[in-house]
Structure formats: C-alpha cells, structure tokens
A and B are shown apart, each in its own frame.
Chain A
C-alpha cells in the first residue's frame, strides 16, 4: 500500500492480462508484463482515491461461482420473457436502499445487478444511499430488494468492509 507499490493486487492481474493478450508465456513476456503491472498502477495512482482491500478472498470466489450460475439462470429467464412477447411483461422501477459505503463495492453491485436477475441499475442517488433499478418482470418489489441484498450485497459487504462494518 506504499508509494513504491501502490496496488499489490493489480500488478499480477495486469501481468496475466498481458500474457493472455500475447498468448504466450515466454520469460521475456512475463518480465515485460510484470514491469507494465508495476508501472501502470504507479502512473494511474491519482485515479484511485482509496486503496482496494479484499478482506475475504474465499467469499469472493464463492460469490463469483454463485454469480456465474445466476447469469445462466437469468439469461434463460430473460430469453423466455422476450420470446413470450411484450404482453406478458410487468416492468417496474424499484429503489434499492444500499448498506454499502465503499465505492468499488457499490459499482461491483451495480454491475452484478445489470447482469443478473432481469434488472438494470439505472441511477445512483447523490448521497450513494439508493440505487434505482429497472426490472423487466417484477410483481413483488420487496422480494426483489430482499434477493439483491441477500445474494449480492451481503457478500460484497463482507468482502470489502468486513463482517459487522458500516
């Protein structure tokens, strides 16, 4: 977290991205990737106001697994709705109150909401406490809010803010 190596997690991720892009694991490419992974975070440190801390890497992996399963399920649901036609849709705007306070956690939650249960996040309120969500097929807004909170917000809170934080 010091000025010499501002984002220890970003360096290996960038190096791996570089290797994927070049589709090779030659020693020269690995060194170049690590150098890029070291230089780029140092140059862009001004754009990262607060450091990212992952407190529970195990839960992050589990969340990713849950998320992948949900993506498949949600897509089948959306595909069925589209094929069934516009008459069967019950679209609704729902306001989800947020308990998260970390900016990166909020943007991850908004991204997850966009990909998963037939919803698109539309707007974050100015005080970062409410997220406006548009649902494609929703008959019970309270249940939708409960699902989002239980499946995504609680794990994100544990990962980025620690269990009982906030």
Chain B
C-alpha cells in the first residue's frame, strides 16, 4: 500500500469516527428530543459514510479489483436515515413531547406516513 493511500485512509477513518462520535455526543447532551434527533441523522450517517468509503479504498488498494459493495450500504443508510428520523419526529409530535422551541402552531393535521 503506497504512503499516499495510507495517509488518505487514515484521514478518512479518523474523520468518520469523529463524526460518529459527535453524532452520539449530540444524542447524549442536547436538551430535548427534537434537537437530539439532529445528531444521529446527520453526523452519524455521514461518519459511517466516511468509514465505508475508507473500507472501499482499503480493499480496492489491497489487490483483487475494485471493491464497490460499500457503496451499497452507504446508499442504504443515506436513504433510510431520513425516513427513520421523519417517523420518529412524527411519533414524538404524536406523543406531544416537550420541546425547547415554541411548539408548532397551528399544527398540521395527521397525514399519511
């Protein structure tokens, strides 16, 4: 493995892990449910995306051809993260969880999921 690729890999791995950590930090320290929702949906998804790109580069560099399976799982995470965030936000509104922000008013009615 050439030094340039190793530096790139190290940067990707550390950046991805740092984003993942920041996402969970947001989950642990932010004040209400709606703000907590932001950490995992954005930072963690992109963090894992970085790690998957790193894995793709690592396996492609170590021989036997291009490794593209990682693209699949990153795509899957990028498609599903907003859906689970949206559903959880809906569930929280449904349960009338308290929020730091002034509540949504007038509230749109329950639509289909």
Q: Which residues of A contact B (CB under 8 A)?
A: 17, 20-21, 23, 71-72, 74-75, 78-79, 82-83, 85-86, 89, 91-93, 95, 110-115, 118, 120-126, 128, 130, 132, 134, 136
Counting CB contacts under 8 A, is B46 at the interface? Answer: yes
Counting CB contacts under 8 A, is B99 at the interface? Answer: yes
B86 adjacent to A115 (CB under 8 Å): no
Contacts of A120 in B (CB 8 A): 34, 37-38, 41, 85-86, 89
B43 adjacent to A78 (CB under 8 Å): yes
CA distance A93 to B42 in the complex (A): 18
Task: Give the Cβ gap from A153 to chain B, nearest Cβ, in Å.
Answer: 16
Counting CB contacts under 8 A, is B63 at the interface? Answer: no
Counting CB contacts under 8 A, is B35 at the interface? Answer: yes
Task: Mark interface residues in B11-47 (1 if CB within 8 Å of A CB, else 0).
Answer: 0000000010011011001111011011101110110
CA distance A92 to B32 in the complex (A): 12
Q: For chain B, what secondary structure do more than half of its interface residues adopt (helix, strand, loop), or is it mixed?
A: helix
A134 adjacent to B101 (CB under 8 Å): yes
Task: Mark interface residues in B67-100 (1 if CB within 8 Å of A CB, else 0).
Answer: 1110110000011011101100110110000011
Counting CB contacts under 8 A, is B109 at the interface? Answer: yes
Task: Give the Cβ gap from B108 to chain A, nearest Cβ, in Å.
Answer: 3
A21 adjacent to B69 (CB under 8 Å): yes
